[in-house]
Amino acid sequence: MASSKLDVLRRGEIFGPVVAVIPYEDEADAIRIANDSPYGLNGAVFTADHAHGVQVARAVRTGVYSVNGAPRHWDAPFGGYKSSGFGREFGLHGLDAYVELKAIATGLTV
């Protein structure tokens, strides 16, 4: 595959249902490739070692990450990192766009 086509696979934002298969040398290289994208909406890892899958999930810069195909809970915030969106939907973090905090100092003791 020409390097320009491989770069599109590595750096493009792909919406599914599709699977992009990109060759990698080892786990560190796979994480590097995943994080090299200007996007970061969603990711997933499938592994027999659940705890290690969570470690990989923490290393990849996406707003949502699934380990072993676990469904997303609707109370959990949804949103991307980098150029994959702004803000969060759902959960308590989804309310932040509708709330403005204000601090009022009066100089009086209560």
Average pLDDT over residues 25-54: 91
Show the CA angle centred on residue 57, arms to residues 15 and 3, nearest 5°. Answer: 50
Question: Do the domain assignments include residue 105?
Answer: no
Mean pLDDT for the chain overall: 79
d(C-alpha 96, C-alpha 87), whole Å: 8
Question: Do the domain assignments include residue 69?
Answer: yes
Question: Do the domain assignments include residue 103?
Answer: no
Domain assignment of residue 28, given as a range: 3-98
Q: Which pLDDT value is given to residue 31?
A: 95
> What confidence tier does 60 reach under pLDDT thresholds 50, 70, 90?
very high
What's the distance, Cα to Cα, between the start and end of the chain in Å? 71
Average pLDDT over residues 52-67: 91
The pLDDT tens digits for 82-107 are: 777 766 766 676 677 667 776 666 67
Question: Do the domain assignments include residue 104?
Answer: no
Question: Do the domain assignments include residue 110?
Answer: no
Question: Do the domain assignments include residue 38?
Answer: yes
| CATH code for the domain in which residue 31 is found | 3.40.309.10
The pLDDT tens digits for 2-12 are: 556 666 555 66
> What confidence tier does 1 reach under pLDDT thresholds 50, 70, 90?
very low
Question: Do the domain assignments include residue 52?
Answer: yes
Give the total number of structural domains in the chain: 1
